[in-house]
Structure 1
Amino acid sequence: MSFGAALKQARESQGLTTQDVALRTKIRGDYLRALEDGNTSLLPERTFARSYLQRYARELSLDPAPLLADFDRSVPASAEMTQSLRGPAARPGPRAPGRGLSPALLAGVATGVIVLAAGGYYALSALRPAPAPAVVTPAVTPEPTPAPVATVRLSVSSVPAGARVYLDNRDLGVTPVRSFPVDARRNAQLRVEAAGRAPLKETVDLSRSRNLRAQLRPTGQNSALVDLNAARAARPAPTPATGTVTPGGSTTPTTTTPAAPPAVAPTPAATPAQAVNVTFSGASWTRVTDAAGRVLYQGTPPAGTVKGFPKGVTIRTGNAGAVKVAVNGAAPAPLGQAGQVVTRTF
Protein backbone atom coordinates (compact mmCIF):
# COMPACT_ATOMS: atom_id res chain seq x y z
CA MET A 1 0.00 0.00 0.00
CA SER A 2 1.41 3.42 -0.95
CA PHE A 3 2.04 6.11 1.65
CA GLY A 4 -0.93 8.14 0.29
CA ALA A 5 -3.39 5.26 0.47
CA ALA A 6 -2.22 4.45 4.03
CA LEU A 7 -2.82 8.04 5.14
CA LYS A 8 -6.27 8.21 3.57
CA GLN A 9 -7.36 4.85 5.01
CA ALA A 10 -6.24 5.83 8.53
CA ARG A 11 -7.97 9.23 8.34
CA GLU A 12 -11.28 7.77 7.14
CA SER A 13 -11.21 5.01 9.76
CA GLN A 14 -10.99 7.72 12.45
CA GLY A 15 -13.94 9.62 10.95
CA LEU A 16 -11.86 12.72 10.16
CA THR A 17 -11.93 15.02 7.17
CA THR A 18 -8.90 16.68 5.61
CA GLN A 19 -10.20 19.95 7.06
CA ASP A 20 -10.13 18.45 10.58
CA VAL A 21 -6.52 17.29 10.09
CA ALA A 22 -5.56 20.68 8.63
CA LEU A 23 -6.85 22.46 11.76
CA ARG A 24 -4.87 20.10 13.99
CA THR A 25 -1.57 20.00 12.07
CA LYS A 26 -1.61 23.56 10.62
CA ILE A 27 -0.95 22.01 7.15
CA ARG A 28 -2.86 23.30 4.15
CA GLY A 29 -5.72 21.08 3.01
CA ASP A 30 -4.54 20.93 -0.61
CA TYR A 31 -1.15 19.59 0.58
CA LEU A 32 -2.90 16.88 2.63
CA ARG A 33 -5.01 15.83 -0.34
CA ALA A 34 -1.90 15.81 -2.58
CA LEU A 35 -0.11 13.49 -0.09
CA GLU A 36 -3.11 11.11 -0.02
CA ASP A 37 -3.36 11.11 -3.85
CA GLY A 38 0.41 10.71 -4.25
CA ASN A 39 0.43 13.79 -6.47
CA THR A 40 3.91 15.09 -5.60
CA SER A 41 3.76 17.77 -8.29
CA LEU A 42 1.37 19.79 -6.08
CA LEU A 43 3.65 19.57 -3.03
CA PRO A 44 6.30 22.13 -2.05
CA GLU A 45 10.01 21.35 -1.96
CA ARG A 46 10.93 17.77 -1.08
CA THR A 47 12.22 18.67 2.39
CA PHE A 48 8.95 20.39 3.34
CA ALA A 49 6.88 17.58 1.78
CA ARG A 50 8.69 14.92 3.90
CA SER A 51 8.11 17.09 7.02
CA TYR A 52 4.37 17.35 6.21
CA LEU A 53 4.15 13.59 5.62
CA GLN A 54 5.86 12.83 8.92
CA ARG A 55 3.54 15.21 10.87
CA TYR A 56 0.44 13.84 9.09
CA ALA A 57 1.39 10.23 9.97
CA ARG A 58 1.97 11.05 13.65
CA GLU A 59 -1.36 12.90 13.86
CA LEU A 60 -3.06 9.68 12.66
CA SER A 61 -0.96 7.54 15.08
CA LEU A 62 0.94 5.88 12.20
CA ASP A 63 4.62 4.94 12.08
CA PRO A 64 6.11 7.53 9.74
CA ALA A 65 9.25 5.47 8.89
CA PRO A 66 7.77 3.10 6.24
CA LEU A 67 5.71 5.96 4.78
CA LEU A 68 8.83 8.13 4.44
CA ALA A 69 10.69 5.22 2.81
CA ASP A 70 7.88 4.84 0.26
CA PHE A 71 7.92 8.60 -0.33
CA ASP A 72 11.70 8.54 -0.92
CA ARG A 73 11.25 5.80 -3.49
CA SER A 74 8.62 7.89 -5.26
CA VAL A 75 10.52 11.16 -4.97
CA PRO A 76 14.26 10.36 -4.91
CA ALA A 77 16.66 13.05 -3.80
CA SER A 78 18.51 14.89 -6.56
CA ALA A 79 22.17 14.08 -7.21
CA GLU A 80 23.26 17.51 -6.11
CA MET A 81 21.33 17.20 -2.78
CA THR A 82 22.76 13.69 -2.20
CA GLN A 83 26.28 14.96 -2.88
CA SER A 84 25.79 17.91 -0.53
CA LEU A 85 24.54 15.66 2.29
CA ARG A 86 27.40 13.14 1.80
CA GLY A 87 30.11 15.79 1.51
CA PRO A 88 32.53 16.68 -1.36
CA ALA A 89 33.90 13.80 -3.47
CA ALA A 90 37.53 12.75 -2.84
CA ARG A 91 39.91 14.15 -5.35
CA PRO A 92 43.53 13.13 -5.87
CA GLY A 93 46.24 15.46 -4.94
CA PRO A 94 46.68 17.89 -2.10
CA ARG A 95 43.75 20.10 -1.08
CA ALA A 96 44.06 23.67 -2.18
CA PRO A 97 44.70 25.93 0.80
CA GLY A 98 41.97 28.42 1.77
CA ARG A 99 39.14 26.57 0.01
CA GLY A 100 35.68 27.17 1.72
CA LEU A 101 32.52 25.07 2.03
CA SER A 102 30.72 24.07 -1.14
CA PRO A 103 27.51 25.98 -2.08
CA ALA A 104 25.49 22.72 -2.08
CA LEU A 105 26.41 22.01 1.56
CA LEU A 106 25.48 25.55 2.58
CA ALA A 107 22.11 25.19 0.81
CA GLY A 108 21.46 21.89 2.63
CA VAL A 109 22.31 23.42 6.02
CA ALA A 110 20.08 26.44 5.32
CA THR A 111 17.19 24.16 4.29
CA GLY A 112 17.55 22.14 7.48
CA VAL A 113 17.48 25.28 9.61
CA ILE A 114 14.35 26.49 7.83
CA VAL A 115 12.61 23.13 8.37
CA LEU A 116 13.47 23.14 12.07
CA ALA A 117 12.26 26.74 12.48
CA ALA A 118 8.98 26.01 10.68
CA GLY A 119 8.37 22.91 12.78
CA GLY A 120 9.02 24.82 16.00
CA TYR A 121 6.69 27.63 14.95
CA TYR A 122 3.81 25.26 14.19
CA ALA A 123 4.36 23.36 17.45
CA LEU A 124 4.25 26.57 19.48
CA SER A 125 1.15 27.73 17.59
CA ALA A 126 -0.67 24.49 18.43
CA LEU A 127 0.27 24.63 22.15
CA ARG A 128 -0.37 28.34 22.68
CA PRO A 129 -3.87 28.84 24.20
CA ALA A 130 -6.24 31.19 22.47
CA PRO A 131 -6.44 34.60 24.14
CA ALA A 132 -9.43 34.96 26.40
CA PRO A 133 -11.96 37.53 25.17
CA ALA A 134 -11.91 40.75 27.07
CA VAL A 135 -14.82 41.08 29.46
CA VAL A 136 -16.19 44.60 29.56
CA THR A 137 -18.16 45.33 32.71
CA PRO A 138 -20.75 48.02 32.00
CA ALA A 139 -20.80 50.92 34.37
CA VAL A 140 -23.71 50.70 36.78
CA THR A 141 -25.46 53.98 37.35
CA PRO A 142 -27.16 53.98 40.76
CA GLU A 143 -30.84 54.70 40.56
CA PRO A 144 -31.96 57.79 42.47
CA THR A 145 -33.69 57.01 45.74
CA PRO A 146 -37.25 58.34 45.64
CA ALA A 147 -38.14 60.79 48.35
CA PRO A 148 -40.33 59.26 51.05
CA VAL A 149 -44.01 60.25 50.94
CA ALA A 150 -45.36 61.69 54.18
CA THR A 151 -48.53 60.24 55.66
CA VAL A 152 -51.19 62.29 57.40
CA ARG A 153 -54.44 61.35 59.15
CA LEU A 154 -57.89 62.35 57.93
CA SER A 155 -61.00 62.24 60.13
CA VAL A 156 -64.41 62.98 58.61
CA SER A 157 -67.76 63.10 60.43
CA SER A 158 -71.12 64.17 59.06
CA VAL A 159 -74.54 65.44 60.07
CA PRO A 160 -76.42 63.18 59.64
CA ALA A 161 -74.03 60.26 60.25
CA GLY A 162 -73.63 57.34 57.89
CA ALA A 163 -72.68 59.37 54.80
CA ARG A 164 -70.35 57.87 52.21
CA VAL A 165 -66.88 59.51 52.02
CA TYR A 166 -64.70 59.59 48.88
CA LEU A 167 -61.20 61.06 48.57
CA ASP A 168 -59.97 61.47 45.00
CA ASN A 169 -62.67 58.94 44.01
CA ARG A 170 -61.37 56.46 46.60
CA ASP A 171 -64.01 55.02 48.91
CA LEU A 172 -63.03 55.64 52.54
CA GLY A 173 -66.22 54.14 53.97
CA VAL A 174 -69.13 55.74 55.85
CA THR A 175 -68.92 58.39 58.54
CA PRO A 176 -67.53 58.63 61.06
CA VAL A 177 -64.13 58.00 59.44
CA ARG A 178 -61.44 58.28 62.11
CA SER A 179 -57.69 58.85 61.51
CA PHE A 180 -57.64 57.37 58.02
CA PRO A 181 -53.99 57.29 56.76
CA VAL A 182 -53.51 59.12 53.43
CA ASP A 183 -50.55 60.49 51.47
CA ALA A 184 -49.87 64.16 52.15
CA ARG A 185 -50.76 66.49 49.26
CA ARG A 186 -52.00 70.02 48.71
CA ASN A 187 -55.11 69.55 46.61
CA ALA A 188 -57.33 66.56 47.29
CA GLN A 189 -60.94 66.18 46.16
CA LEU A 190 -63.23 65.30 49.07
CA ARG A 191 -66.78 64.13 48.36
CA VAL A 192 -69.41 63.27 50.99
CA GLU A 193 -72.80 61.87 49.94
CA ALA A 194 -75.95 60.70 51.72
CA ALA A 195 -79.40 59.76 50.47
CA GLY A 196 -81.80 62.72 50.41
CA ARG A 197 -78.99 65.23 51.08
CA ALA A 198 -77.13 67.66 48.85
CA PRO A 199 -73.67 66.16 48.12
CA LEU A 200 -70.59 67.98 49.41
CA LYS A 201 -67.64 68.47 47.03
CA GLU A 202 -64.59 70.37 48.31
CA THR A 203 -60.87 70.68 47.53
CA VAL A 204 -59.00 70.22 50.80
CA ASP A 205 -55.37 70.75 51.82
CA LEU A 206 -53.92 67.50 53.16
CA SER A 207 -50.40 68.74 53.81
CA ARG A 208 -51.26 68.16 57.50
CA SER A 209 -53.70 65.99 59.42
CA ARG A 210 -57.32 67.23 59.26
CA ASN A 211 -60.49 66.77 61.33
CA LEU A 212 -63.50 67.76 59.18
CA ARG A 213 -67.26 67.67 59.54
CA ALA A 214 -69.72 67.73 56.62
CA GLN A 215 -73.02 69.53 57.26
CA LEU A 216 -75.25 67.76 54.73
CA ARG A 217 -78.38 69.81 54.19
CA PRO A 218 -81.53 68.65 52.40
CA THR A 219 -81.51 68.45 48.63
CA GLY A 220 -81.79 71.93 47.10
CA GLN A 221 -79.64 73.58 49.79
CA ASN A 222 -75.87 74.00 49.96
CA SER A 223 -73.96 71.60 52.19
CA ALA A 224 -70.99 72.95 54.16
CA LEU A 225 -67.63 71.65 55.40
CA VAL A 226 -66.35 72.63 58.87
CA ASP A 227 -62.74 72.32 60.05
CA LEU A 228 -63.19 71.27 63.69
CA ASN A 229 -59.60 72.09 64.66
CA ALA A 230 -59.88 75.62 63.21
CA ALA A 231 -63.28 76.13 64.90
CA ARG A 232 -61.84 75.27 68.30
CA ALA A 233 -58.86 77.60 67.79
CA ALA A 234 -61.16 80.48 66.77
CA ARG A 235 -63.23 80.47 69.99
CA PRO A 236 -62.88 83.95 71.71
CA ALA A 237 -61.54 84.32 75.25
CA PRO A 238 -64.01 85.47 78.01
CA THR A 239 -64.41 89.31 78.31
CA PRO A 240 -63.31 90.73 81.73
CA ALA A 241 -65.93 92.34 84.03
CA THR A 242 -66.50 96.16 83.75
CA GLY A 243 -68.30 98.70 86.02
CA THR A 244 -70.93 101.50 85.57
CA VAL A 245 -70.59 104.84 87.47
CA THR A 246 -73.84 106.03 89.15
CA PRO A 247 -74.72 109.69 89.92
CA GLY A 248 -73.85 109.16 93.57
CA GLY A 249 -70.28 108.30 92.64
CA SER A 250 -70.51 104.58 93.27
CA THR A 251 -69.66 102.03 90.72
CA THR A 252 -72.00 99.22 89.94
CA PRO A 253 -70.11 96.22 88.64
CA THR A 254 -71.49 94.63 85.55
CA THR A 255 -70.57 91.32 84.06
CA THR A 256 -70.26 90.88 80.34
CA THR A 257 -71.49 87.53 79.22
CA PRO A 258 -68.92 85.95 76.86
CA ALA A 259 -70.02 85.52 73.31
CA ALA A 260 -71.39 82.13 72.58
CA PRO A 261 -69.12 79.99 70.40
CA PRO A 262 -70.33 79.19 66.93
CA ALA A 263 -72.87 76.47 66.94
CA VAL A 264 -71.30 73.16 66.02
CA ALA A 265 -73.52 70.18 65.88
CA PRO A 266 -72.16 67.44 68.15
CA THR A 267 -71.07 64.18 66.62
CA PRO A 268 -73.86 61.71 67.22
CA ALA A 269 -73.01 58.59 69.15
CA ALA A 270 -72.77 55.34 67.29
CA THR A 271 -76.23 54.00 66.59
CA PRO A 272 -77.28 50.48 65.73
CA ALA A 273 -77.09 51.55 62.04
CA GLN A 274 -73.26 51.64 62.45
CA ALA A 275 -72.91 48.77 64.88
CA VAL A 276 -70.19 46.87 62.98
CA ASN A 277 -66.69 48.41 62.93
CA VAL A 278 -63.98 46.72 60.85
CA THR A 279 -60.28 47.38 61.55
CA PHE A 280 -57.59 46.41 59.01
CA SER A 281 -54.20 45.67 60.59
CA GLY A 282 -52.67 44.57 57.26
CA ALA A 283 -53.36 44.22 53.54
CA SER A 284 -56.42 42.09 52.86
CA TRP A 285 -58.89 42.14 49.99
CA THR A 286 -62.37 42.56 51.50
CA ARG A 287 -65.94 42.81 50.23
CA VAL A 288 -68.88 43.92 52.40
CA THR A 289 -72.51 43.42 51.28
CA ASP A 290 -75.81 44.20 52.98
CA ALA A 291 -78.74 41.86 53.53
CA ALA A 292 -80.04 42.59 50.02
CA GLY A 293 -76.70 41.62 48.43
CA ARG A 294 -75.67 45.18 47.53
CA VAL A 295 -71.92 45.84 47.74
CA LEU A 296 -71.19 48.44 50.43
CA TYR A 297 -67.40 48.23 50.07
CA GLN A 298 -64.90 46.27 48.03
CA GLY A 299 -61.14 46.74 47.88
CA THR A 300 -57.82 46.39 49.74
CA PRO A 301 -57.54 49.25 52.25
CA PRO A 302 -54.17 50.21 53.78
CA ALA A 303 -53.18 49.05 57.25
CA GLY A 304 -54.76 51.10 60.03
CA THR A 305 -58.05 51.68 58.18
CA VAL A 306 -61.26 51.57 60.24
CA LYS A 307 -64.64 51.28 58.52
CA GLY A 308 -68.18 51.23 59.95
CA PHE A 309 -71.19 49.34 58.64
CA PRO A 310 -74.77 48.63 59.79
CA LYS A 311 -75.79 45.34 61.33
CA GLY A 312 -76.71 42.51 59.02
CA VAL A 313 -73.68 42.90 56.71
CA THR A 314 -71.73 39.97 55.26
CA ILE A 315 -67.92 40.31 55.23
CA ARG A 316 -65.72 38.21 52.94
CA THR A 317 -61.93 38.63 53.20
CA GLY A 318 -58.88 36.90 51.77
CA ASN A 319 -56.60 37.40 54.82
CA ALA A 320 -58.75 36.85 57.90
CA GLY A 321 -55.86 37.36 60.33
CA ALA A 322 -55.48 41.02 59.23
CA VAL A 323 -59.19 41.90 59.71
CA LYS A 324 -60.77 42.52 63.13
CA VAL A 325 -64.49 43.12 63.69
CA ALA A 326 -66.16 44.80 66.66
CA VAL A 327 -69.93 44.51 67.09
CA ASN A 328 -71.92 46.99 69.25
CA GLY A 329 -68.78 48.44 70.85
CA ALA A 330 -67.32 45.08 71.92
CA ALA A 331 -63.59 44.39 71.72
CA PRO A 332 -62.50 43.73 68.12
CA ALA A 333 -61.69 40.10 67.27
CA PRO A 334 -59.94 38.71 64.17
CA LEU A 335 -62.06 36.94 61.60
CA GLY A 336 -59.65 33.99 61.40
CA GLN A 337 -56.07 32.95 60.74
CA ALA A 338 -53.54 34.77 58.55
CA GLY A 339 -54.05 33.92 54.88
CA GLN A 340 -57.43 32.27 55.56
CA VAL A 341 -60.41 33.12 53.33
CA VAL A 342 -63.45 33.73 55.56
CA THR A 343 -67.05 34.81 54.94
CA ARG A 344 -69.14 35.83 58.00
CA THR A 345 -72.38 37.73 58.62
CA PHE A 346 -72.75 40.22 61.50
Structure 2
Amino acid sequence: MCELGERLRRAREAKGLSLKEAAERLALKAGVLEALEACRFEALPEPPLARGYLRRYALLLGLDPEPLLALYPRQAPPPPPRKGPRRRPFPLGLFLFLLLLFGLGYGAYLLLRPRPVQVVEVAPPPPSKPPERYPLRVVSEPPGARVYLDGFYLGQTPLESPPVEGGKRVLRLELPGYEPLEAEVLLKAPLTLTYRLKPLPQPPPASPPVPVEKGKLVLKLEGRSWLRVRQGDKRLYEGIPEVGAELSFDLPVEVRAGNPGAVRVILEGQDLGPMGEPGKPVTKSFP
Protein backbone atom coordinates (compact mmCIF):
# COMPACT_ATOMS: atom_id res chain seq x y z
CA MET A 1 0.00 0.00 0.00
CA CYS A 2 1.34 3.50 -0.85
CA GLU A 3 1.88 6.28 1.67
CA LEU A 4 -1.27 8.18 0.55
CA GLY A 5 -3.56 5.18 1.07
CA GLU A 6 -1.90 4.25 4.37
CA ARG A 7 -2.51 7.75 5.80
CA LEU A 8 -6.17 7.70 4.76
CA ARG A 9 -6.77 4.21 6.14
CA ARG A 10 -5.12 4.97 9.50
CA ALA A 11 -7.08 8.23 9.94
CA ARG A 12 -10.38 6.49 9.07
CA GLU A 13 -9.73 3.60 11.47
CA ALA A 14 -8.70 6.07 14.21
CA LYS A 15 -12.14 7.69 13.87
CA GLY A 16 -13.86 4.29 13.97
CA LEU A 17 -15.41 4.67 10.51
CA SER A 18 -15.97 1.96 7.93
CA LEU A 19 -15.62 2.65 4.21
CA LYS A 20 -19.39 2.47 3.85
CA GLU A 21 -20.02 4.98 6.66
CA ALA A 22 -17.43 7.41 5.30
CA ALA A 23 -18.88 7.09 1.77
CA GLU A 24 -22.42 7.82 3.07
CA ARG A 25 -21.21 11.01 4.81
CA LEU A 26 -19.57 12.22 1.60
CA ALA A 27 -22.42 11.03 -0.69
CA LEU A 28 -19.91 8.95 -2.70
CA LYS A 29 -19.62 5.31 -3.65
CA ALA A 30 -17.59 3.19 -1.27
CA GLY A 31 -15.56 1.97 -4.28
CA VAL A 32 -14.13 5.48 -4.76
CA LEU A 33 -12.79 5.62 -1.18
CA GLU A 34 -11.57 2.03 -1.45
CA ALA A 35 -9.63 2.91 -4.65
CA LEU A 36 -8.08 5.96 -2.93
CA GLU A 37 -6.90 3.89 0.05
CA ALA A 38 -5.58 1.14 -2.25
CA CYS A 39 -3.91 3.73 -4.56
CA ARG A 40 -5.71 2.22 -7.57
CA PHE A 41 -5.72 5.54 -9.42
CA GLU A 42 -6.67 3.88 -12.73
CA ALA A 43 -10.06 2.98 -11.18
CA LEU A 44 -10.83 6.66 -10.37
CA PRO A 45 -12.30 9.35 -12.68
CA GLU A 46 -10.19 12.03 -14.32
CA PRO A 47 -7.55 13.56 -11.99
CA PRO A 48 -9.34 16.90 -11.28
CA LEU A 49 -12.44 15.07 -10.00
CA ALA A 50 -10.44 12.44 -8.11
CA ARG A 51 -8.37 15.18 -6.40
CA GLY A 52 -11.64 16.85 -5.34
CA TYR A 53 -12.80 13.55 -3.81
CA LEU A 54 -9.44 13.21 -2.02
CA ARG A 55 -9.74 16.74 -0.57
CA ARG A 56 -13.25 16.05 0.79
CA TYR A 57 -12.18 12.70 2.23
CA ALA A 58 -9.17 14.28 4.00
CA LEU A 59 -11.35 17.02 5.54
CA LEU A 60 -13.82 14.40 6.79
CA LEU A 61 -10.97 12.51 8.48
CA GLY A 62 -9.50 15.67 10.01
CA LEU A 63 -6.39 15.60 7.80
CA ASP A 64 -4.68 18.50 6.04
CA PRO A 65 -5.49 17.80 2.36
CA GLU A 66 -2.52 19.67 0.86
CA PRO A 67 0.21 17.09 1.73
CA LEU A 68 -2.07 14.30 0.50
CA LEU A 69 -2.79 16.10 -2.77
CA ALA A 70 0.96 16.41 -3.31
CA LEU A 71 1.17 12.59 -3.21
CA TYR A 72 -1.61 12.14 -5.80
CA PRO A 73 -0.30 11.75 -9.40
CA ARG A 74 -1.32 14.44 -11.87
CA GLN A 75 -2.25 11.73 -14.40
CA ALA A 76 -3.70 8.31 -13.59
CA PRO A 77 -1.41 5.39 -14.66
CA PRO A 78 -2.65 3.28 -17.56
CA PRO A 79 -4.15 -0.12 -16.68
CA PRO A 80 -1.73 -3.07 -16.91
CA PRO A 81 -1.76 -4.89 -20.27
CA ARG A 82 -3.81 -8.06 -20.42
CA LYS A 83 -2.10 -11.26 -21.35
CA GLY A 84 -3.93 -13.24 -24.00
CA PRO A 85 -4.33 -17.01 -23.88
CA ARG A 86 -1.39 -19.02 -25.16
CA ARG A 87 -1.99 -20.41 -28.63
CA ARG A 88 -1.44 -24.02 -29.38
CA PRO A 89 0.81 -24.89 -32.35
CA PHE A 90 -1.15 -25.59 -35.52
CA PRO A 91 -0.79 -29.25 -36.70
CA LEU A 92 1.39 -29.51 -39.82
CA GLY A 93 -0.68 -32.27 -41.39
CA LEU A 94 -3.91 -30.34 -41.03
CA PHE A 95 -2.21 -27.27 -42.48
CA LEU A 96 -1.09 -29.17 -45.59
CA PHE A 97 -4.54 -30.67 -46.01
CA LEU A 98 -6.19 -27.25 -45.81
CA LEU A 99 -3.62 -25.82 -48.21
CA LEU A 100 -4.38 -28.59 -50.72
CA LEU A 101 -8.12 -28.08 -50.27
CA PHE A 102 -7.71 -24.37 -50.82
CA GLY A 103 -5.66 -24.94 -53.97
CA LEU A 104 -8.31 -27.28 -55.40
CA GLY A 105 -11.10 -24.83 -54.57
CA TYR A 106 -9.22 -21.91 -56.07
CA GLY A 107 -8.50 -23.90 -59.24
CA ALA A 108 -12.18 -24.80 -59.61
CA TYR A 109 -13.05 -21.15 -59.11
CA LEU A 110 -10.69 -20.08 -61.92
CA LEU A 111 -12.24 -22.67 -64.27
CA LEU A 112 -15.88 -21.98 -63.50
CA ARG A 113 -15.96 -18.21 -63.04
CA PRO A 114 -17.99 -16.50 -65.83
CA ARG A 115 -15.87 -13.34 -65.99
CA PRO A 116 -13.02 -11.77 -64.08
CA VAL A 117 -13.95 -9.94 -60.94
CA GLN A 118 -12.56 -6.47 -60.45
CA VAL A 119 -11.33 -5.91 -56.93
CA VAL A 120 -11.50 -2.35 -55.63
CA GLU A 121 -9.37 -1.51 -52.65
CA VAL A 122 -10.98 0.81 -50.14
CA ALA A 123 -8.72 2.92 -47.97
CA PRO A 124 -9.31 2.39 -44.26
CA PRO A 125 -10.99 5.29 -42.43
CA PRO A 126 -8.60 7.69 -40.69
CA PRO A 127 -8.16 7.04 -36.96
CA SER A 128 -10.48 9.06 -34.77
CA LYS A 129 -8.88 11.94 -32.88
CA PRO A 130 -9.13 12.10 -29.10
CA PRO A 131 -11.47 14.83 -27.82
CA GLU A 132 -9.89 18.23 -27.34
CA ARG A 133 -9.31 19.42 -23.75
CA TYR A 134 -9.19 23.01 -22.54
CA PRO A 135 -8.39 24.75 -19.22
CA LEU A 136 -11.35 26.27 -17.35
CA ARG A 137 -11.31 29.18 -14.88
CA VAL A 138 -14.38 30.04 -12.77
CA VAL A 139 -14.71 33.14 -10.57
CA SER A 140 -17.72 34.04 -8.41
CA GLU A 141 -18.79 37.00 -6.31
CA PRO A 142 -18.71 36.23 -3.41
CA PRO A 143 -15.93 33.59 -3.64
CA GLY A 144 -16.01 30.15 -2.04
CA ALA A 145 -18.81 28.68 -4.22
CA ARG A 146 -18.65 24.94 -4.96
CA VAL A 147 -18.23 24.25 -8.69
CA TYR A 148 -19.74 21.18 -10.42
CA LEU A 149 -19.21 20.25 -14.08
CA ASP A 150 -21.80 17.77 -15.41
CA GLY A 151 -22.47 16.80 -11.80
CA PHE A 152 -18.80 16.21 -10.88
CA TYR A 153 -17.25 18.39 -8.13
CA LEU A 154 -14.22 20.38 -9.33
CA GLY A 155 -13.47 22.64 -6.32
CA GLN A 156 -14.31 26.10 -4.93
CA THR A 157 -14.06 29.51 -6.58
CA PRO A 158 -11.77 31.07 -7.58
CA LEU A 159 -11.08 27.85 -9.51
CA GLU A 160 -8.20 27.09 -11.90
CA SER A 161 -9.16 23.71 -13.36
CA PRO A 162 -6.76 21.51 -15.37
CA PRO A 163 -7.79 20.90 -18.99
CA VAL A 164 -11.18 19.15 -19.29
CA GLU A 165 -12.94 17.64 -22.30
CA GLY A 166 -14.49 20.22 -24.60
CA GLY A 167 -18.03 20.45 -25.95
CA LYS A 168 -21.34 21.40 -24.35
CA ARG A 169 -21.04 21.09 -20.56
CA VAL A 170 -23.37 21.97 -17.68
CA LEU A 171 -21.80 24.17 -14.97
CA ARG A 172 -23.37 24.54 -11.51
CA LEU A 173 -22.33 26.82 -8.60
CA GLU A 174 -23.57 26.37 -5.02
CA LEU A 175 -22.92 28.60 -1.98
CA PRO A 176 -24.86 28.54 1.31
CA GLY A 177 -27.12 31.59 1.58
CA TYR A 178 -27.21 32.12 -2.22
CA GLU A 179 -29.38 30.78 -5.02
CA PRO A 180 -27.75 27.89 -6.96
CA LEU A 181 -26.61 28.93 -10.43
CA GLU A 182 -26.71 26.51 -13.38
CA ALA A 183 -25.63 27.33 -16.93
CA GLU A 184 -24.76 25.48 -20.14
CA VAL A 185 -21.33 26.42 -21.49
CA LEU A 186 -19.66 25.60 -24.80
CA LEU A 187 -16.03 24.71 -24.15
CA LYS A 188 -14.06 24.97 -27.40
CA ALA A 189 -11.12 27.11 -26.20
CA PRO A 190 -9.55 28.15 -22.86
CA LEU A 191 -12.43 29.78 -20.99
CA THR A 192 -12.79 32.17 -18.02
CA LEU A 193 -16.28 32.52 -16.50
CA THR A 194 -17.35 35.11 -13.92
CA TYR A 195 -20.68 34.92 -12.06
CA ARG A 196 -22.37 37.09 -9.42
CA LEU A 197 -24.48 34.95 -7.10
CA LYS A 198 -27.88 36.15 -5.93
CA PRO A 199 -28.50 36.04 -2.15
CA LEU A 200 -31.49 34.07 -0.91
CA PRO A 201 -34.29 36.19 0.58
CA GLN A 202 -33.92 36.36 4.36
CA PRO A 203 -37.09 35.62 6.38
CA PRO A 204 -38.04 38.22 9.03
CA PRO A 205 -36.77 37.31 12.51
CA ALA A 206 -39.37 35.50 14.59
CA SER A 207 -38.22 37.16 17.80
CA PRO A 208 -35.71 39.77 18.92
CA PRO A 209 -32.14 38.46 19.15
CA VAL A 210 -31.07 37.11 22.50
CA PRO A 211 -28.15 39.05 23.98
CA VAL A 212 -24.92 37.05 23.97
CA GLU A 213 -23.31 36.43 27.34
CA LYS A 214 -19.80 37.60 28.02
CA GLY A 215 -17.07 34.97 27.86
CA LYS A 216 -18.83 33.03 25.05
CA LEU A 217 -17.61 31.98 21.59
CA VAL A 218 -20.26 31.11 18.97
CA LEU A 219 -19.38 29.29 15.72
CA LYS A 220 -21.98 29.54 12.92
CA LEU A 221 -21.71 26.94 10.14
CA GLU A 222 -22.42 28.59 6.76
CA GLY A 223 -21.14 25.51 4.89
CA ARG A 224 -19.66 22.09 5.56
CA SER A 225 -16.47 22.01 7.64
CA TRP A 226 -14.75 19.67 10.06
CA LEU A 227 -14.24 21.24 13.52
CA ARG A 228 -12.24 20.42 16.64
CA VAL A 229 -12.62 22.55 19.81
CA ARG A 230 -10.29 22.15 22.82
CA GLN A 231 -10.10 23.78 26.23
CA GLY A 232 -6.60 23.03 27.48
CA ASP A 233 -6.16 19.24 27.28
CA LYS A 234 -9.94 18.68 27.21
CA ARG A 235 -11.64 18.08 23.85
CA LEU A 236 -15.02 19.84 23.81
CA TYR A 237 -16.11 18.94 20.26
CA GLU A 238 -14.89 17.18 17.12
CA GLY A 239 -16.90 16.41 13.97
CA ILE A 240 -18.76 17.93 10.99
CA PRO A 241 -21.82 19.93 12.16
CA GLU A 242 -24.90 20.42 9.99
CA VAL A 243 -24.94 23.52 7.78
CA GLY A 244 -26.72 26.31 9.68
CA ALA A 245 -25.80 24.97 13.14
CA GLU A 246 -24.55 27.28 15.91
CA LEU A 247 -22.07 25.96 18.48
CA SER A 248 -21.45 27.90 21.72
CA PHE A 249 -18.42 27.43 24.02
CA ASP A 250 -17.08 29.06 27.18
CA LEU A 251 -13.78 30.88 26.75
CA PRO A 252 -10.88 30.20 26.54
CA VAL A 253 -10.86 27.66 23.68
CA GLU A 254 -8.70 26.56 20.73
CA VAL A 255 -10.51 25.91 17.42
CA ARG A 256 -9.23 24.06 14.32
CA ALA A 257 -11.35 24.16 11.14
CA GLY A 258 -10.84 22.15 7.94
CA ASN A 259 -12.79 24.69 5.81
CA PRO A 260 -12.47 28.03 7.69
CA GLY A 261 -14.36 29.95 5.00
CA ALA A 262 -17.58 28.17 6.05
CA VAL A 263 -17.21 28.99 9.80
CA ARG A 264 -18.37 32.43 11.06
CA VAL A 265 -16.88 33.48 14.41
CA ILE A 266 -18.86 35.54 16.97
CA LEU A 267 -16.74 36.44 20.00
CA GLU A 268 -18.73 37.84 22.97
CA GLY A 269 -21.41 39.16 20.62
CA GLN A 270 -18.98 40.66 18.06
CA ASP A 271 -19.12 39.19 14.55
CA LEU A 272 -15.50 38.59 13.44
CA GLY A 273 -16.48 37.16 10.02
CA PRO A 274 -15.20 33.88 8.52
CA MET A 275 -12.47 32.11 10.43
CA GLY A 276 -10.19 31.93 7.37
CA GLU A 277 -9.95 31.21 3.65
CA PRO A 278 -12.06 28.41 2.11
CA GLY A 279 -10.38 25.02 1.96
CA LYS A 280 -7.23 26.05 3.93
CA PRO A 281 -7.24 24.40 7.41
CA VAL A 282 -6.33 26.75 10.26
CA THR A 283 -6.05 26.68 14.08
CA LYS A 284 -6.88 29.76 16.23
CA SER A 285 -6.93 30.40 19.97
CA PHE A 286 -9.60 32.58 21.63
CA PRO A 287 -8.51 33.67 25.15
The structure in which a higher percent of residues are strand is: 2
TM-score w.r.t. length of structure 2:
0.31
TM-score by length of 1: 0.26
